[in-house]
Structure 1
Amino acid sequence: MYKFLLIVILTWASLGKSAEFKSGEDYWQVRSGDSVAVAEGDNLFFTWWGCDSCRQIEEELSQQLEGFEVVPLIARQEWRPAAKAFYVMKMLEGNPNAEDVIKQRIEEGTLDPKDQKALFDAVIELGYDKEQVAELLEDRDLYGRIDQAVALAENYNIQYVPTVVVKGRFATDARHTMTVKKFGEVLEYLKTL
């Protein structure tokens, strides 16, 4: 009897949880025609360095976002410098804390994520080689990564940050969830689908 009661309670709890979040309200399902060849396993976190909500979600939900590929969204032309700096730092594999320092300076208001010169001055100040950075800014690989980020955003119809895509099939963003807590809850729910 105890086992039966436990099963009933667990089933009821799981049904209640699935009813708690609604497609179209808390998250959306990516249309199958929108996906690219290897998209089925995509776990992506779209962000922008100038987004306070993104930084808050990254800090508070870091464990839940583990294994998600970070993709800088270029929703506007002025977001491009931050994406370039992000990829330059990834490609050169320098100071492991550099990105955190950059984000902190942006949060403090001492660094503008739209100012390419200021961003790259900061990157160089953090120990990245000036010549390597300059070379990379002219490199096709960098622009290939930028193009890939743009294509992913277009593929999943991402227009806002922060946004997560789970398993290449489901997505949610801060506009749908409104709080960090609910964002995390919806993210965990989407991982179970």
Structure 2
Amino acid sequence: MQRAAQAFLFSLVGLTVACNAAEPVVNKDYRVLERPQPTASGNKIEVLEFFYYGCPHCYDLQSALEPWVKKQPGDVEYKRVPTVFRDSWIPLTKTFYTLEALGALDKLHQDVFDAVHNKKLDLNDPKLMAKWAEQHGVDAKKFSDMYNSFTVESKSQQSVQKTKNYGITGTPSVVVAGKYLTSPSMTGNYQSFLAVLDQLVAKARQEGAGKKAG
């Protein structure tokens, strides 16, 4: 209930900020990647959220970001990318890709955040993670098998490489159209961040980022 009220408040304040937002300033509110990355969204504008389940700022952002994602038009494709700065981040990255492969990510994504930050569970332990997954409706053996699979290991290593390729230096960060990077730490707060995000999506749309396959 508290998170729902917080999300509603964020949406109201965010709308006000967006309506009055000034043009975002490059190298202040956002930066252009030195090496723009290819997108995999076809004729849509790709928006990538780089996050880590253990990051408190990523957790706090969710209640503001989820309503933003839901209101995006059909030419925007939003994806999450687990960020990996060090080996200790790999277990929760594997958890993300395991839940995704089992079709349980949309249902349990927020629950993983809650387990880590509210219940203080050590979900870096694969056995504990499998037990937690079973308590949330996922077969423990299927979870463990997928967690230890070549597919999940490969995707986790791809996350390591993406973190480097996109020049991610902190979480949460969001990249629009493979070249515009912004974050709450750059804009100063979550509401301004969402306003800048809107403007970067509009900028990418104006540049034709969503028409590549057309």
Q: Following the alignment from structure 2 to structure 1, what is the Cα–Cα distance between the partners of residues 50 and 106?
A: 20
SS of alignment partner, residue 187 of structure 1: helix
> Could you list the per-position Cα deviations for residues 90-114 of structure 1 after superposition, in whole angstroms to 9, with x for gaps in the alignment?
1011485323222212221431344
> How far apart are residue 180 of structure 1 and its match?
0.8
Task: Find the structure with the greater CA-based Rg.
Answer: 1
Confirm or deny that 1:17 pairs with 2:22. Answer: yes
**What TM-score results when the alignment is normalised by the length of structure 2?**
0.73
**Does the 8 A contact of 1:82 with 1:119 survive in 2?**
no
Question: What number of residue pairs does the alignment pair up?
Answer: 176
Percent identical? 22
Structure 1 match to 2:107: 97
SS of alignment partner, residue 103 of structure 1: helix
Choose which of 58, 64, 69 in structure 1 pairs with 2:68.
Answer: 64
**Does the 8 A contact of 1:29 with 1:171 survive in 2?**
yes
| Alpha-carbon RMSD | 2.4
- Alignment gaps of 5+ in structure 2: 1-18, 71-76, 204-214
**Does the 8 A contact of 2:39 with 2:46 survive in 1?**
no
**Does the 8 A contact of 1:102 with 1:122 survive in 2?**
no
Q: Following the alignment from structure 1 to structure 2, what is the Cα–Cα distance between the partners of residues 153 and 169?
A: 14
Structure 1 match to 2:195: 185
Cα 1:25/1:61, change in 2 over 3 Å = same
The structure with higher relative contact order (CA 8 Å, sep 6+) is 2
Partner AA of 2:37 in structure 1:
S
Choose which of 15, 30, 33 in structure 2 pairs with 1:27.
Answer: 30
- Alignment gaps of 5+ in structure 1: 1-13
Partner AA of 2:116 in structure 1:
I
**What TM-score results when the alignment is normalised by the length of structure 1?**
0.80
Deviation above 6 Å: which 4+ runs of structure 1? none
Partner AA of 1:35 in structure 2:
Q
Structure 2 match to 1:4: none
Partner AA of 2:69 in structure 1:
L
